[in-house]
Amino acid sequence: MVEHRPLSQLAAHLILIAGVALVLFPVYIAIVASTQAPGEFLRGTLPLVPGGHALENYRAMWESGLSRAGAPPVGQMLFNSLVMALAITVGKLVISLLSAFAIVYFRFPFRLFFFWLIFVTLMLPVEVRIIPTFQVVADLGMLNSFAGLSIPLIASATATFLFRQFFMTVPEELLEAARVDGAGPLRFFKDILLPLSVTNIAALFVILFIYGWNQYLWPLLITTDSDYYTVVMGIQRMTTAADGDPQWHLVMAAVVMAALPPVLVILFMQRLFVKGLTETEK
Amino acid sequence: MMASIKLEGLEKTYPGGVQAVKGVDLEVADGEFVVLVGPSGCGKSTLLRMVAGLETISAGALYIGKRRVNELEPAQRDIAMVFQNYALYPHMTVFDNLAYGLKNRGFKRDEIRRRVEEAARMLEIEAFLPRKPRQLSGGQRQRVAMGRALVREPAVFLFDEPLSNLDAKLRVQMRVEIKRLQRRLKTTSLYVTHDQLEAMTLGDRLVVLNGGRIEQVGTPMEIYARPASLFVATFIGSPAMNLLPLGALLSGPGAASHGALLGDLPPGTGILGIRPDALRLEAPHGPHLTLSATLELFEAAGAESHLHVRLAGSGQPLVIRTAGQPAVAEGQRLHFHITRDALHPFHRETGRRLDDTLKTKEQAA
Amino acid sequence: MQTKRMTFPGRWLPYALLAPQVIVTLIFFIWPSLQALYMSLLREDAFGLNSTFVGLANFARLFADDTYLDSLSVTAMFAIGTTLLSMSAALLLAATVNRMLRSRNAYTTLLVWPYAIAPAIAGVLWWFIFNPSIGIVPYALEMLGYRWNHRTSGNDAMMLVIIAAAWKQIAYNFLFFLAGLQSIPQSLIEAAAIDGAGPVKRFWTIVFPLLSPTTFFLMVVNVVYAMFDTFGVIHATTQGGPSQATNTLVYKVYADGFVGLNLGSSAAQSVILMAIVVLLTVVQFRFIERRVNY
């Protein structure tokens, strides 16, 4: 370890504190804004210290939303987001585990073909094929439903790859021992492979939950009924309110509430998050 | 329940065309402990895995008991296996590791508990039952792996180099224990190792494999005393058997006296094998050969010593094992004596042992 | 591609296991993509009643269209700006955090959470901060003599979306740079120190070159991110304006298809985007393969 001089160490801390401040700045501003009274913004610039209206702003958004801007109560949108994020996460995990299991532990005709078929989904983000995908979902009658919000997003090449990589590192002998012990494929999957994958599943859960929660374009397209609005897209509805400037104190209360769940997930599961992030990209 | 094992012309050819097992015939009697031994790549592990059902059989037939089991799943063959790296389920406790195979076979909970506890007592791992494998030492894991095979009370035990991940001291200890267990349970066992000492000490019979074929089958002492080929001669026994070209004895000092004694060697003899302990410093009674050689290196190994010498004349290197520590000095010229019946003649081209034909001739005459 | 040495026998089970993934892929990925390909060769009339096959005319028109070409250069600028800003900030922070012993984890925690913020929300946050009438940054800039207005100035708008997009991505780049830095053997740094290199020189002559696999990998990932994952940033803020100044390719596909209802053109744009993704994926995988082979 090369020793660092105290002075340069001080400079390093200053750089980091500045970096942290920069990263925190927008969120601090949002929190401050969400605690102001309605008229506060008409007076020119934004105050830099919190006001005393936090409770009423948050309660107003949680319970009634911004009806003039066509945004339902945030409480309801958060619930919708939660359902969508969990459905996408669980769906992706389940179908990826199953397909990785098939690809690694079986030999069958067209195995390589299926592998590439799944691989292709990696190359086709929803953003580049918006209209035909929308068309398919509309034809299937899945607009304005949780199924429509989640199912089209649950195919996952990334998760399949991660599990495939992990399965390849599971010692051969465990499979052999299990077969001598009389375990068939499904029992091996349930009793041996799944318990061994727990850490990987948890790490991926964190990443996929954030992915699901932060979906924006897709809910925007397929929900016209405000009962199915998710919170991330709902906020955009609020900022584009028809009559002039948005009601920033309320919008920011919604922003804070929308950002909180995934941020909490990262803060409390940082180790799993880092593992999930760095391993999905390998 | 116990069973014999019968291999009939077993072959294993991999998709790439590599043939790992090239036609093996073998019968293992009920309750017998047979060791498959050979260098790495000789096909011994593949053969064991074919018996286990972990490798498909390309040709030939395999019987366990009276059943032909070629197409049966491993679980249906009534076998249990101990793996080289133990293959313990890392997320299960020792108890669950032992119980897993029984659970899958639908045993009652009481019966599972009884069997697991009995096996644990036998292997002295009762204290570890609630632990996970990662909390155990190498030797303890090895016992758990054995326990997993024991609880099943199978017709056949299969061991795939189960001791090779242990340190030398533990290996000897576990070797004795495996032998003792097998004696007590009398379960037919097939055991793979590359360690000739392990093979000699464990097996009722040895099967020496080389290049996918059987070189020799026999009891350890049969194989040690009468190796069927140069390969077996050098593979079994440590230090390895000395191999001398016949020409080295028929020229140089003492060639004339050698010639008289070696006259009755079977025709075709090209190489003579001599065990390091068959060469003696004191002359024995009866007819014998005397070789003179220079001591190059002296190794004292406690109860015995190894003398690395070079034969006068031909310059052939030899290793001699003697008990204790003889009073010799490096550089010294020494005389060694060997009786005629301690010579192993091998054919000059095929490398097969020759005196068998000589013996049969004698018997016929 | 390998399997295990031993595999399970099973005629239909592997297909059953693959079925959910394959069905979802076919219905929601492959089929719509083929549709996009097909639609890109058609032109619909204004009522969407008739469509005629026009061959590559949609593509030809795109490349003759100044707004599309503008969108290409806007996208390039946006991607380069976002990548540079985000990666350099992340590298500085990661290299600094890597010097710390006790405070390393605390700083890491404080720096990584913006990963959790949706691009759209990041956009709204910065949109608010830069709001020309009440925002805090325009207020500060005005004191320095600059009148910020992203509603009228294309450059201001571009700056805004770049900052918002880069801010969210810093966390990701930071984690990968930190992992890359930690994998550099400490003995190399010590050897350089003994050879008389100061901290700055050590960084540029030893650390940075050894970090190049990570840097290259992040460059590709960041370009992909800027091109495809930032729809929310733009849609929630500038909506491509003012006067197309932030109209990136992905946003334009949406705007032309859903708002402008020009399906043929939108589909042709989709096809071009798919080609770009395929290209970037190939680059990324080529590179990853090499990295695995080390």
C36 domain residue, yes or no:
no
| Amino acid letter, residue B252 | G
User: Tell me, what's the pLDDT at A242?
Assistant: 45
Token representation of residue C261? 């209802």
Locate the chain B residue with the closest alpha carbon to A183. Answer: B104
User: How far apart, in whole angstroms, are the C-alpha atoms of residue B36 and residue B42?
Assistant: 10
**C97: containing domain:** 57-292
Q: Does B56 touch chain A (CB under 8 A)?
A: no
Q: Are A180 and B90 within 8 A, CB to CB? A: no
Q: Tell me the pLDDT tens digit for each residue of B223-234.
A: 999 999 999 999
Please name the member of A96, A118, A248 whose beta carbon is closest to the beta carbon of C128: A248
Residue B154 half-sphere exposure toward CB, CA atoms < 13 A: 31
User: How far apart, in whole angstroms, are the C-alpha atoms of residue B145 and residue B130?
Assistant: 15
Extended beta strands in chain B, E state: 5-13, 19-28, 33-37, 59-64, 67-68, 79-82, 156-160, 188-193, 205-210, 213-218, 242-245, 269-274, 288-301, 304-311, 317-323, 333-339, 343-347
SS3 state of residue C2: coil
Q: Tell me the residues of chain A between 2 and 61 that have a Cβ less than 8 Å away from chain C.
A: 2, 4, 8-9, 12-13, 15-16, 19-20, 23-27, 29-30, 33, 41, 44-46, 48
Total domains in chain A come to 1
From the list B170, B23, B147, the residue with the least C-alpha distance to B86 is B147
Q: Are B74 and A171 within 8 A, CB to CB? A: no
Chain B environment of A191 (Cβ under 8 Å): 89, 100
Token representation of residue B85? 């790296």
Q: Are A180 and B75 within 8 A, CB to CB? A: yes
**List of chain C residues with pLDDT < 70:** 1-2, 45-49, 287-294
Mean of per-residue pLDDT scores for chain B: 89
**Sheet strands side by side (includes B67-68):** B19-28, B5-13, B59-64, B67-68
**A61: containing domain:** 34-280
DSSP state of B233: H
Distances B226 to B35, B229, B339, B350 between C-alpha atoms, Å? 18, 9, 16, 16
| Cα end-to-end distance, chain A, whole Å | 29
C27 domain residue, yes or no:
no
pTM of the model: 0.84
Say if CB A250 and CB A41 are below 8 A apart.
Answer: no
Q: Are C117 and A4 within 8 A, CB to CB? A: no
User: Tell me, what's the pLDDT at C1?
Assistant: 59
Three-point CA angle C239, C244, C250, nearest 5°: 60
- Distance, in angstroms, between C44 CA and closest chain A CA? 14
C10 domain residue, yes or no:
no
DSSP per-residue codes, B66-103: TEE-TT--GGGGTEEEE-TT----TTS-HHHHHHHHHH
Which residue in the block uniquely carries the two structure tokens 């997003």? A153
What is the average per-residue pLDDT within B112-128? 93
User: Tell me, what's the pLDDT at C291?
Assistant: 47
Say if CB B199 and CB B37 are below 8 A apart.
Answer: yes
C43 domain residue, yes or no:
no
Say if CB C274 and CB A127 are below 8 A apart.
Answer: no
Please name the member of C25, C170, C176 whose beta carbon is closest to the beta carbon of A117: C25
**For residue C81, what are the contacts with CB-CB under 8 A and spacing of at least 6?**
C158, C162, C166
Say if CB B51 and CB B190 are below 8 A apart.
Answer: yes
Burial of residue A229 (number of CB atoms within 10 Å: 0-12, 13-18, 19+)? buried
Q: Are C118 and A232 within 8 A, CB to CB? A: yes
A11 domain residue, yes or no:
no
C81 domain residue, yes or no:
yes
Q: Does A62 touch chain C (CB under 8 A)?
A: no
Say if CB A92 and CB A157 are below 8 A apart.
Answer: no
Q: Does A112 touch chain C (CB under 8 A)?
A: yes
Q: Tell me the pLDDT tens digit for each residue of C154-194.
A: 889 999 999 999 999 999 999 999 988 988 888 888 888 88
Say if CB B292 and CB B312 are below 8 A apart.
Answer: yes
DSSP state of C115: G
Q: Are C190 and A98 within 8 A, CB to CB? A: no
DSSP state of A71: B
Q: Are C133 and A135 within 8 A, CB to CB? A: no
- Distance, in angstroms, between A88 CA and closest chain B CA? 28
Q: Are A181 and B100 within 8 A, CB to CB? A: yes
Q: Are C115 and A277 within 8 A, CB to CB? A: yes
A1 domain residue, yes or no:
no
User: Tell me, what's the pLDDT at B363?
Assistant: 47
Is the dihedral angle over the CA atoms C105, C106, C107, C109 positive or is it negative?
Answer: positive
- Tens of pLDDT, residue by residue, chain A (282 residues): 455 677 778 888 999 999 999 888 888 888 888 888 777 666 666 777 777 777 888 888 788 777 666 778 888 899 999 999 999 999 999 999 999 999 999 988 888 888 888 877 777 777 777 788 888 888 998 888 888 889 988 888 888 888 988 998 899 899 999 999 988 899 999 999 999 999 889 888 998 999 999 998 889 888 888 888 888 888 888 876 545 667 788 888 888 999 999 999 888 888 888 888 777 654
User: Tell me, what's the pLDDT at B116?
Assistant: 95
| Amino acid letter, residue B200 | M
User: How far apart, in whole angstroms, are the C-alpha atoms of residue C28 and residue A121?
Assistant: 9
User: How far apart, in whole angstroms, are the C-alpha atoms of residue A202 and residue A128?
Assistant: 30
- φ/ψ of B59, rounded to 5, equals -155, 155
A10 domain residue, yes or no:
no
Burial of residue B266 (number of CB atoms within 10 Å: 0-12, 13-18, 19+)? middle
Q: Are A131 and C258 within 8 A, CB to CB? A: yes
Q: A57-85 burial string, b = 16+ CB within 10 Å, else e?
A: bbebbbeebbeebebbbbbbbbebbbbbb
- CATH (domain of C102): 1.10.3720.10
User: How far apart, in whole angstroms, are the C-alpha atoms of residue A169 and residue A200?
Assistant: 12
B78 CA to centre of own chain: 25
Q: C76-108 burial string, b = 16+ CB within 10 Å, else e?
A: eebbebbbebbbebbbbbbbbbbbbeeeeeebb
Q: Does B79 touch chain A (CB under 8 A)?
A: yes
| Amino acid letter, residue C210 | L
Q: Does C129 touch chain A (CB under 8 A)?
A: yes
Q: Are C5 and A281 within 8 A, CB to CB? A: no
Going by pLDDT thresholds of 50, 70 and 90, the confidence category of residue B248 is confident
Alpha helix locations (H) across A106-145? Answer: 111-120, 130-139
Chain A environment of C10 (Cβ under 8 Å): 106, 108, 185
User: Tell me, what's the pLDDT at A282?
Assistant: 45
Q: Which domains does chain B have, with CATH numbers?
A: 5-233 (3.40.50.300), 239-364 (2.40.50.140)
Long-range contacts of A139-142 (CB under 8 A, 24+ apart): A140/C27, A142/A222
Chain A environment of B86 (Cβ under 8 Å): 173
User: How far apart, in whole angstroms, are the C-alpha atoms of residue C280 and residue C278?
Assistant: 6
Query: Which residues on adjacent β-strands are paired with residue B190?
Result: B34, B158
Length of chain A: 282
Best A123, A169, A211, A257 residue to mutate vs chain C (most C CBs within 10 Å): A123
From the list C30, C13, C1, C289, the residue with the least C-alpha distance to A111 is C1
Q: Are A192 and B89 within 8 A, CB to CB? A: yes
Of the candidate ranges A41-50, B169-178, B266-275, the one whose mean pLDDT is the lowest = A41-50
* Other CB atoms within 10 A of residue C199 CB: 17
Q: Tell me the pLDDT tens digit for each residue of B311-338.
A: 887 888 999 999 888 888 888 998 888 8
User: Tell me, what's the pLDDT at B115?
Assistant: 94
DSSP per-residue codes, B114-140: HHHHHHHHHHT-GGGTTS-GGGS-HHH
Q: Are C274 and A274 within 8 A, CB to CB? A: no
* Other CB atoms within 10 A of residue C11 CB: 9
Locate the chain A residue with the closest alpha carbon to C200. Answer: A8
User: How far apart, in whole angstroms, are the C-alpha atoms of residue C76 and residue C82?
Assistant: 10
Q: Tell me the residues of chain A between 216 and 235 that have a Cβ less than 8 Å away from chain C.
A: 216-217, 220-221, 232-233, 235
